[in-house]
């Protein structure tokens, strides 16, 4: 009789040696990285497996139903356990992956089955290499940071179609601070000189912004629950309590005493003594509160960097500014329903093409899951106009306008930028365009088609005419007065637009809760069907881009004369449907409801 040890070895070999299917590969080591030998074979490695979701189509339909006013299911957001039950892979798919892991030598105690994600720790490099039919190497970047990665990996043929992604494998990245867009920084004059909408022509304060967007003194009526709003901090950015306190005293006395709660994800920092860059974080905190007070506010901090495919904007992986969305999103979606914010603002982004396809698809889907649970997710559209690098990174170096991710994800609401008043104008750096990943959703088809009909053949071949158009909305984005490290500064960028617009949305959600209604959740179907009537259409100005030199790396890039998108009547890819008028948005938000007729179209899933 054979020993159990021999039987185990034979079983493991049969799995490992089975016909393999390559799941991902890189053409070459990313620029800025170099091979630095082989890792210690005894080193354990943590991996995440993204399982293929057989009910993805059903999820997308359900999200559309619960987010579209007039539908019988509008506002019936999914509970955490309902969503997980809907997305959980078939039991035999999970069993096949679990068997692969254990047969390969992964301890059952080192495996976490979280439904659509299976996390595990390979006991050592040797086991990981045999499992994925590859060779892991140690790679070192220009900053001296080392990572264990591979240029390709495979899975057994019987798992093909069951596993969507395993990472970190071919994902190269590095921790280094990303630039905040500082257009000027100086000691300013008397704050009292800047108090009304007229002065929004040259610089922005909470007072002038609230006046411009018609936010009343008491924007939330009643004493019931208002939920809470939140903002993200990546790349080691730290919002500062004392800066917010000083900002309230000088610019937002109506919010005096209001601060933010902190949530650290995977060791994210809120070190108030840190001298690290805090401009982005302070901008988010100060203007989300400036527009969203008295709604309570929470700050999330997630360390680390996401994966990067280098392009001309970020030519070296050592300069990676991609954010760790997967860590953040997996944490958020595991939270109980009552611990989720109703409004979430994020002011980060990168070229869509710089994010590996499987990664961007999974991340976008996770943002959709937040929307399905009732969270309104807003992102800055970006600060590169129609494009900075304007060149594909697929080896062909084709001249092209480049969309920004996650703004291009259809499940987030992208916020573009404006400046000046009477009239408000599109600002040149406001990113927008058309996704090369996601097709145009039905809910924006009429609006985007109207723009394309006006555009005609202009820029033909430089963009995806059938792609998801962005941004969806806009807000002021130039010369925001901010207090950073106890110094008054002026900051610009759509990183200012996003928290400002998110503050408005948080007020709408708070008023819906006060009225006994669910929050708005995923915003875009509402915006394109009704909410646009509460926005001021921006018809002046245009974006710029493709200037011949990348604004970030300084490298030469393709030059496209007069490149950019113009603001026009109706939706456009620089300001979306326009800027907020709270006095009009509030009744539209309160009236959004489902039909009392019709049947539910989605299968009911129970945990």
Q: Which residues are catalytic?
A: 280, 284, 495
Tokens 């709270």 correspond to what residue? 582
> Facing residues of 566 across strands?
542
Torsional sign, CA 120, 121, 123, 126: positive
End-to-end CA distance of the chain: 44
What is the four-CA torsion angle of 432, 436, 438, 440, rounded to 10 degrees?
Answer: 60
3-state secondary structure 530-566: CHHHHEECCCCEECCECEEECCCCCCEEEECCCCCCE
CB within 8 A of 588, min separation 6: which ones? Answer: 530, 531, 533, 534
Angstrom distance (rounded) from CA 571 to CA 451? 7
Residue ranges of the annotated binding site are: 537-538, 570, 572
The DSSP code for 184 is B
The Cβ of residue 548 has, within 10 Å, a number of other Cβ atoms equal to 11
DSSP string, 433-462: EEEEEEEPPGGGHHHHHHHHHHHTTTTTTS
Peptide bond into 423 cis (omega under 30): yes
Residue ranges of the annotated binding site for Ca(2+) are: 537-538, 570, 572
Angstrom distance (rounded) from CA 354 to CA 552? 14
Angstrom distance (rounded) from CA 493 to CA 501? 13
């Amino acid at each position: 009789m054979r020993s159990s040890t021999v039987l185990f070895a034979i079983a493991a070999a049969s799995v490992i040696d089975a016909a393999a299917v390559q799941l991902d590969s890189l053409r070459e080591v990313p620029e800025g990285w170099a091979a630095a030998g082989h890792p210690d074979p005894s080193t354990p490695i943590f991996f995440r497996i993204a399982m293929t979701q057989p009910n993805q189509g059903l999820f997308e339909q359900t999200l559309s139903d619960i987010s579209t006013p007039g539908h019988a299911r509008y506002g019936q957001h999914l509970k955490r356990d309902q969503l997980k039950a809907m997305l959980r892979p078939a039991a035999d798919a999970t069993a096949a992956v679990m068997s692969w892991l254990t047969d390969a030598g992964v301890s059952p105690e080192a495996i976490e089955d979280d439904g659509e994600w299976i996390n595990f720790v390979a006991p050592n490099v040797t086991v990981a290499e045999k499992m994925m039919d590859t060779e892991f190497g140690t790679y070192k970047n220009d900053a001296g940071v080392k990572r264990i990665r591979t240029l390709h990996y495979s899975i057994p043929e019987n798992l093909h179609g069951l596993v969507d992604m395993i990472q970190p494998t071919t994902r190269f990245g590095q921790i280094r601070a990303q630039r905040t867009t500082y257009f000027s920084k100086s000691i300013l004059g008397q704050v009292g000189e800047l108090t009304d909408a007229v002065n929004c022509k040259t610089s922005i304060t909470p007072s002038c912004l609230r006046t411009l967007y018609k936010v009343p003194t008491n924007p939330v009526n009643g004493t019931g629950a208002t939920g809470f709003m939140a903002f993200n901090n990546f790349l080691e950015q730290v919002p500062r309590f004392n800066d917010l306190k000083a900002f309230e005293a000088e610019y937002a006395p109506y919010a005096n005493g209001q601060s933010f709660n902190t949530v650290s994800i995977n060791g994210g920092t809120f070190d108030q003594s840190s001298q690290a860059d805090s401009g982005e974080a302070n901008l988010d905190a100060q203007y989300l509160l400036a527009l969203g007070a008295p709604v309570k506010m929470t700050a999330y901090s997630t360390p680390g960097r996401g994966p990067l495919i280098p392009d001309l904007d970020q030519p070296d992986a050592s300069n990676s500014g991609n954010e760790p969305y997967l860590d953040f999103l997996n944490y958020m979606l595991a939270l109980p329903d009552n611990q989720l914010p109703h409004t979430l603002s994020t002011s980060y982004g990168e070229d869509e093409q710089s994010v590996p396809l499987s990664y961007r698809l999974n991340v976008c889907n996770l943002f959709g899951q937040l929307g399905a649970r009732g969270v309104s997710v807003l992102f800055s559209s970006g600060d590169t106009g129609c494009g900075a690098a304007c060149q594909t990174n697929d080896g062909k170096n084709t001249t092209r306008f480049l969309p920004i991710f996650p703004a291009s994800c259809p499940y987030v609401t992208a916020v573009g930028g404006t400046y000046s008043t009477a009239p408000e104008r599109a600002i040149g750096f406001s990113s927008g365009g058309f996704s090369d990943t996601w097709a145009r959703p039905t809910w924006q088809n009429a609006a985007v088609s109207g723009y394309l009909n006006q555009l005609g053949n202009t820029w033909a071949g430089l963009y995806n005419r059938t792609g998801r158009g962005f941004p969806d909305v806009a807000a002021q984005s130039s010369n925001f007065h901010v207090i950073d490290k106890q110094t008054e500064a002026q900051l610009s960028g759509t990183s200012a637009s996003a928290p400002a617009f998110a503050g408005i949305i948080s007020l709408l959600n708070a008023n819906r809760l006060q009225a006994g209604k669910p929050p708005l959740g995923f915003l875009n179907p509402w915006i394109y069907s009704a909410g646009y009537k509460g926005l001021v259409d921006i018809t002046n100005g245009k974006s710029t881009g493709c200037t011949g030199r990348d604004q970030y790396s300084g490298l030469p890039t393709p030059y496209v004369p007069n490149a950019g998108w113009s603001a026009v009547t109706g939706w456009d890819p620089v300001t979306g449907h326009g800027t907020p008028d709270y006095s009009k948005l509030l009744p539209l938000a309160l009236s959004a409801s489902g039909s009392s007729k019709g049947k539910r179209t989605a299968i009911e899933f129970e945990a």
